[in-house]
Amino acid sequence: MASRHTLNGFVLALGALLAVGCDWPGKPDPGTRQRAAEELTSFVPLYRQHCVGCHGADGQQGPAPPLNDPLFLAIVPDAELERVIRRGRRGTPMPAFGIEAGGELSDAQVTALAQGLKSHWKSDEKLDEPLPSYLPADGDDSTRQPGDRERGATLFAVACAGCHGENGRGGEGSDANNAIHEPAFLALISNQALRRIIITGRSDLGMPSFAGKDGRPDDFSTLTSPQIDDLVALLAHWRDEQGQLANPHTSNVP
Amino acid sequence: MNHLLRELGNWIDVRVGYSETLLPMLRHPIPRAADGPMGWWYVFGSASLTFLLIQILTGIGLSLVYVPAANEAYESLVYLDYEHPFGWFLRALHYYAGSGMVVMLLAHMTQVFLHGAYKYPRELTWMVGVVLLLCTLGMFFSGQILRWDPDAYWGLAVAGSMAGRVPVIGPWVVHALLGSEIIGAAALSRFFALHVFVIPGALLTFLVLHLWLVLRCGISAPPAADRPVDPATYEAEYHEELRQGVPFLGDAMLRDLFFSAAAVIVVVAIAAVVGPKGPTGPPDPTLGGANPRPEWPFLWLFALLALSPPAAETFIMLVFPVVVIGILFLVPVVSNRGHRAPSRRPVAVLAVIVIYTTLGALTYLGVTAPWSPEMRAWTSAAIPTDVVERSSPLELQGSLVFQYKNCRNCHALEGVGGRRGPDLTTVGTRLTRDQLIDQVSNGTPGGGNMPAYGKQMSPAEMTVLADFLVSLRPSGQPPAKVWSSSPTTRP
């Protein structure tokens, strides 16, 4: 009788296997169905294919400015985000990804990326500081003053020199290689990118934001939008001092 | 009921005569020694045959749905994979049973070779077997083409280019193969005809011949070290052996059945778990991201061609296969007598080891394809976070340059990225800043692997890139130094 039971069990097991046949691991998942490259419009695979290399696996801890940064996503205008993905950021290594600019991504894909960045990583929490504008031109243009590098230098000594050293030449001890008053560094970063980094800092690498007090002296007060203009003016002046190391996108590439 | 069936059997037998023809074939005696544990060496041939039967059945099933037209082939496979009930399983089984057939054929040939079973009087059996191997490989290749994805398209492109190098008749061969000078609808139709009519026809014909020769010459006894083959006396000895033989229809057949069943279960399980292979993408030759690969039985050739100097290509494409097939063919002509036992044939054993090691190594290289850049690495492979965390602002800029100048497509960091060039995770300990700038600017001297990037980089980019590369060192390790050999300055 025992063998009869074994046989019954075997038949039952086989039947069960057939019943769940639809869920065999080998059955192709419709989600992984091959599509034409431009039909792919979901954020995660697009981000993995096109952004991870510089902006990091989770939008953080890459060499390029983090995109998974609630402050950045709170202030960057949607149109600007799309424009930079599509056309690149002049004066920085950010390339153009839009098809019309020589990249691979269709309009729908660029939009999916730009919107996905906000829907994935933008925080719902209200950021209570009065936030500086992302673009300098974003204020009332008629009354706006261009940045002043003299004021910028004074600000730099308070807000930045703690880590970047006096005049941006590098700090002391473990901050020794934090120099940014470097021709090659400044040649590869645009004023807008500088402005963005000053505003958002790099929370993933320990650089404080425009309002962060960590590592800054007691008399530091939150930077205002015009003050950020002043700091950018100072760094731009440092860049202009060195003629020979020009912007990568306008330099000796014929 | 039994009685009725017996009546029917008798009725047919009187007219067909199977009890006088087929039954004796099944009952043909085999040497007693081949019936013991040694009998397990004899199961691979019948397993290949079992897989062939599966291929025929699944092939018929697939042909009911597959549309051999350039504009619909891909869609019909997608339909099989995602819509048709168990269509995916049929495709998977057809692929893995085909693979199993190649594996079993190789095992069968290896066994026959090692046991010297190809020697007198079974030389022709071996030669026909070689033809069967070629037919099976032809089925594999033509089957891959029917998948009509980038692998298929570019596989055809390679096959066409190879055929085009044949002297004098090259263009004619290409036209015969592709039905045109370009890869298109005609090529698919031709390969469909090859895969479904021409090659299977040849395969089955030669299979019948092979089986006839097996019956005619008998199953060889397991080799004995003290009994070399001498054509003058072999027949008598073999007949003496058969006198104490056992019928095939018995334990031997059960062993074959058992092994075949086990092999089929394994293949079915693999098909159910791994699923169908491809199609990888639509057959659009303008898609830049295609990364075509030949099927696994051809990966070794893919690797061999990729790693050989261009001057050797034509030789490897046109002469080398002829030589290899010729050698396979001539094996029983060169040695059809003498010892059969592996213990007395060290060169044969060594040859098997060398051939499989070489094929294995080349196949491994074909799988990893370290000679192909990874075209998406620059945007899809992140800079390792520990590198980012310890980087200065300049080095961060350098790692950006490293990515957007596509260095990553050939150079891995911590194992991720292209493998065409060396992994640069610790390059700062090997090359000095000056050496790095020289390497990046000028590439590999003498037109080697690495292109010169000097004219594609601004001074700023070169500066930060060099900073970044020098920083690629395990913590605590100093940068590389140059030990100058210039004469010491005299006082």
CATH number, domain with residue A99: 1.10.760.10
b/e burial code for range A48-79 (CB count within 10 A of at least 16 → b): ebbbbbbbbbbbbbbbbbbbbbebbbbbbeee
* Residue tagged 């799988």 (tokens): B367
Across the range B378-390, mean pLDDT stands at: 94
Q: Is pLDDT of A103 > 60?
A: yes
Closest CA to B28 of B219, B183, B199: B219
Q: Are residues A142 and A105 in the same domain?
A: no
Q: Is pLDDT of B342 > 60?
A: yes
pLDDT on residue A251: 41
Q: In chain A, how many domains are there?
A: 2
pLDDT on residue A174: 79
Classified as helix, coil or strand, B175 is helix
Across the range B159-183, mean pLDDT stands at: 90
Q: Is pLDDT of A247 > 60?
A: no
Long-range CB contacts (< 8 A, 24+ apart) of B303-308?
B303/B362, B303/B363, B303/B365, B303/B366, B303/B369, B304/B362, B306/B365, B306/B366, B306/B369, B306/B371, B306/B372, B307/B365, B307/B371
CA distance A2 to B30: 38
pLDDT on residue A175: 81
* Residue tagged 């020769």 (tokens): B213
Summary mean pLDDT of chain A: 84
Residue A51 is classified by DSSP as T
Question: Is residue A111 packed enough to be buried (19+ CB in 10 Å), middle (13-18) or exposed (0-12)?
Answer: middle
Percent of chain B with pLDDT strictly greater than 90: 72
Q: Are residues A45 and A114 in the same domain?
A: yes
Classified as helix, coil or strand, A36 is coil
Chain A residue numbers with beta carbons less than 8 Å from the beta carbon of B377 are: 53
b/e burial code for range B326-356 (CB count within 10 A of at least 16 → b): eebeebbeebbeebbbbebbeebeeebeeee
- Please judge whether A178 and B393 are an interchain contact, meaning their C-beta atoms are less than 8 angstroms apart: yes
| Residue A199 belongs to some domain of the structure | yes
pLDDT in tens, B185-241: 899 999 999 999 999 999 999 999 999 999 999 999 999 888 899 999 999 999 998
Across the range A39-67, mean pLDDT stands at: 93
Percent of chain B with pLDDT strictly greater than 70: 98
Q: Are residues A143 and A230 in the same domain?
A: yes
Q: Is pLDDT of A105 > 70?
A: yes
CA distance B27 to B254: 13
Higher-pLDDT residue of A122 and B286 is: A122
Pair B229, B116: CB distance under 8 Å: yes
Local confidence band at A142 (pLDDT 50, 70, 90 cut-offs): low
Q: What is the largest CA-CA distance in chain B?
A: 118
- Please judge whether A63 and B403 are an interchain contact, meaning their C-beta atoms are less than 8 angstroms apart: yes
Q: What is the largest CA-CA distance in chain A?
A: 98
Q: Is pLDDT of B273 > 80?
A: yes
Chain B residue numbers with beta carbons less than 8 Å from the beta carbon of A57 are: 382, 385
Question: Is residue A84 packed enough to be buried (19+ CB in 10 Å), middle (13-18) or exposed (0-12)?
Answer: buried
| Residue A147 belongs to some domain of the structure | yes
Domain with CATH 1.20.810.10 in chain B: 9-284+292-299+308-338
Residue B247 is classified by DSSP as E
Other CB atoms within a 10 A radius of the CB of residue B17 amount to 11
Q: Is pLDDT of A92 > 50?
A: yes
CATH superfamily of this structure's domain B9-284+292-299+308-338: Cytochrome Bc1 Complex; Chain C (1.20.810.10)
| Residue A170 belongs to some domain of the structure | yes
Q: Is pLDDT of A143 > 90?
A: no
Q: Are residues A148 and A237 in the same domain?
A: yes
Domain with CATH 1.10.760.10 in chain B: 377-471
Pair B55, B104: CB distance under 8 Å: no
Pair A109, A207: CB distance under 8 Å: no
Summary mean pLDDT of chain B: 92
Q: Mutation test of the interface with chain A: which of B378, B386, B396, B433, choosing the one with the most A Cβ atoms within 10 A?
A: B396
Pair B75, B121: CB distance under 8 Å: no
pLDDT on residue A166: 92
Q: Is pLDDT of A177 > 80?
A: yes
| Residue A145 belongs to some domain of the structure | yes
Retrieve residue A35's tokens. Answer: 């599509």
- Please judge whether A34 and B464 are an interchain contact, meaning their C-beta atoms are less than 8 angstroms apart: no
CA distance B345 to B352: 11
Across the range B253-275, mean pLDDT stands at: 95
- How many angstroms separate the CA of residue A54 from the nearest CA in chain B? 6
Of A52, A178, A247, the CB nearest to B380: A52
| Residue A200 belongs to some domain of the structure | yes
pLDDT in tens, B6-19: 999 999 999 999 88
Q: Tell me the range of A7-16, A134-143, B334-343 where mean pLDDT is highest.
A: B334-343
Q: Is pLDDT of A249 > 50?
A: no
Region of residue B119 (left: phi > 0; alpha: psi -120 to 50; beta: else): beta
Q: Mutation test of the interface with chain B: which of A24, A169, A194, A253, choosing the one with the most B Cβ atoms within 10 A?
A: A24
Region of residue A131 (left: phi > 0; alpha: psi -120 to 50; beta: else): beta
| Residue A52 belongs to some domain of the structure | yes
Closest CA to B463 of B413, B395, B374, B373: B395
Q: Are residues A140 and A117 in the same domain?
A: no
pLDDT on residue A241: 83
Higher-pLDDT residue of A7 and B367 is: B367
Pair B384, B414: CB distance under 8 Å: yes
pLDDT in tens, B106-157: 999 999 999 999 999 999 999 999 999 999 999 999 999 999 988 898 889 8
pLDDT in tens, B65-106: 999 998 899 989 999 999 998 999 999 999 999 999 999 999
| Residue A207 belongs to some domain of the structure | yes
pLDDT in tens, B38-74: 999 999 999 999 999 999 999 999 999 999 998 899 9
- How many angstroms separate the CA of residue A217 from the nearest CA in chain B? 22
Whether the ω angle into residue B279 lies within 30 degrees of 0, i.e. cis, is yes
Mean pLDDT lowest for which of A5-19, A150-164, B290-304? Answer: A5-19
pLDDT on residue B207: 97
| Residue A10 belongs to some domain of the structure | no
Local confidence band at B282 (pLDDT 50, 70, 90 cut-offs): confident
Across the range A136-154, mean pLDDT stands at: 73
Retrieve residue B27's tokens. Answer: 């009952």
* CA dihedral sign of residues B405, B407, B409, B412: negative
Other CB atoms within a 10 A radius of the CB of residue B66 amount to 22
Q: Which fold does the domain B377-471 belong to in CATH?
A: Cytochrome Bc1 Complex; Chain D, domain 2 (1.10.760)
* Residue tagged 């002469």 (tokens): B319
**B424 contacts: CB under 8 Å, gap ≥ 6:** B407, B411, B412, B413, B469, B472
pLDDT on residue B93: 97
Range of the domain at A106: 39-121
- Please judge whether A53 and B276 are an interchain contact, meaning their C-beta atoms are less than 8 angstroms apart: no
Q: Are residues A142 and A191 in the same domain?
A: yes
Closest CA to B103 of B67, B61, B62, B133: B133
Amino acid in position A86? R
- Please judge whether B88 and A28 are an interchain contact, meaning their C-beta atoms are less than 8 angstroms apart: yes
Q: Transcribe B25-82 into DSSP letters.
A: HHT-EE-GGGGSGGGGGG-HHHHHHHHHHHHHHHHHHHHTT---STTTHHHHHHHHHH
